[in-house]
Amino acid sequence: MSSEKDVHYRQIITKAVCGKGRKFSETKHKITPAEKPTSILGCWLINHKYTSAKKGDAVEINGTYDCNIWYSYSGNTKTNVATETVSYTEVVPLVMQDSDILSEDLEVISRATQQPNTLEALIASNDRDVEVQVEKEFAVEVIGETKMTVQVNPNASVEEWDEEAWDDTIDDEEFEDLDTNFLAGELEE
């Protein structure tokens, strides 16, 4: 049994997740097609691009996507597609922040866990615009340098540990004793 004198600690500087956050949002956009729409035939959101940066106790995500609305006009006799690039800003609050971050050089990782998706596209009450309701969700992580304290055993021999822990070699005699039908026997039962 080791005494209290044998116990030693080391501090290790490492990169670790220092903050996390998640945000689901729904927003509405108003898009005006070239012609007065009679009905909405479909709405697709494509070309989603975004950047993120830590701002205070949150991560700010700035992005764009193209909103394509397929609509009919002239009494449902013709169709067209209205395309508009929509910009947005989402602020994702951070939780589980590590107060012992060693530097201001932080890495922000953001993922769209749910890409922008059209919930509904309707002709507005003015009969000219199209209101598009969109949902999206982001998860963010902030990675920074922090300290960990680990207990070490000063009496341990690295050479002994390496040989014991990693000695998984099979000699020729053990290899010859292997049952090559082991898996086939399991499948037949």
Q: What is the mean pLDDT of the segment spanning 130-140?
A: 97
Look at residue 30 and give its three-state secondary structure: strand
Instruction: Say if CB 41 and CB 182 are below 8 A apart.
Output: no
The predicted pLDDT at position 41 comes to 97
Q: Based on the number of CB atoms within 10 Å of its own CB, is 142 exposed (0-12), middle (13-18) or buried (19 or more)?
A: buried
Q: Full-prediction pTM beyond 0.75?
A: no
Contacting residues for 184 by C-beta, under 8 A, at least 6 apart: none
Reported as a single tens digit per residue, the pLDDT across 10-66 is: 898 888 888 899 999 999 999 999 999 999 999 999 999 999 999 988 999 999 999
**Between β-strands 58-73 and 37-55, what pairing exists: parallel, antiparallel or unpaired?**
antiparallel
Higher pLDDT residue, 164 or 75? 75
Q: What is the mean pLDDT of the segment spanning 79-90?
A: 97
The predicted pLDDT at position 37 comes to 97
The predicted pLDDT at position 101 comes to 73
Instruction: Say if CB 122 and CB 37 are below 8 A apart.
Output: no
Look at residue 185 and give its three-state secondary structure: helix
> Which residues pair with residue 45 across a beta bridge?
67
Higher pLDDT residue, 183 or 116? 116
